[in-house]
Amino acid sequence: MKVDTIEELKKDLERLEAITQALPELPAKFVKPVMAWALIERCKPAQQFALKYTQLCNGANEILPISKEQAKWLRSFETYAELIRQSIEQWPRTYGIGLEVVISTILADNESEHKEDAYVYVKRLFQGFKLIDLTLTATHFDKPEPMSDEEFEKEYEKIKEVL
């Protein structure tokens, strides 16, 4: 957009300010560390599946398909990953970002007719795993005591509504 006068610039600035004020405010990080680590523990099966899948794709040098059942099962971890990203603590957020990269990469390519290069695909998956690994190795001694299943379910019902 070309602006010729100061008046036009001021009007454009007012318009942009109105747009930014209308945007919803993002919630502050709200997931307690103990809950974030409990969610991470529940994501371990998806992490293990995705790692084995990535290794198979890397070994075959191609993007291997996953079944609809596998995609549905993997998709069931997306909410956990999003909640982990909302952790008050940084390390779980890093894990959540890595897991989201891995899950979204696998699901996006398996749902697309346009397959990308296998090397680029596997590289993106390994980048997600680097974030996951960084979290798990850097915080070996910093994890809180685990939650009971009952505590987890109660807390999960409270926080999943925020998303």
Share of the chain above pLDDT 70, in %: 89
Q: What is the DSSP string of 7-31?
A: HHHHHHHHHHHHHHHHSPPPPPP-B
Helices (H), 86-148: 90-111, 118-138
d(CA 126, CA 42): 21
State residue 7's pLDDT score: 81
pLDDT over 60 (residue 26): no
State residue 28's pLDDT score: 77
pLDDT over 90 (residue 102): yes
pLDDT over 90 (residue 104): yes
Q: Which residues make beta-bridge pairs with 87?
A: 31
Question: Biggest alpha carbon distance in the chain?
Answer: 64
State residue 161's pLDDT score: 76
d(CA 104, CA 50): 11
The average pLDDT across 94-102 equals 95
pLDDT in tens, 105-131: 999 977 776 667 899 999 999 999 999
d(CA 3, CA 151): 58
Whole-prediction pTM: 0.75
**Average per-residue pLDDT in the chain?**
86
State residue 39's pLDDT score: 95
In degrees and rounded to multiples of 5, residue 140 shows phi and psi of: -50, -35
Contacts 24+ apart (CB under 8 A), 60-67: 60/118, 61/118, 61/119, 62/118, 63/109, 63/115, 63/116, 63/118, 63/121, 65/110, 66/106, 66/110
pLDDT band at 142 (very low <50, low <70, confident <90, very high): low
State residue 17's pLDDT score: 79
pLDDT in tens, 37-82: 999 999 999 999 999 999 999 999 999 999 999 999 999 999 999 9
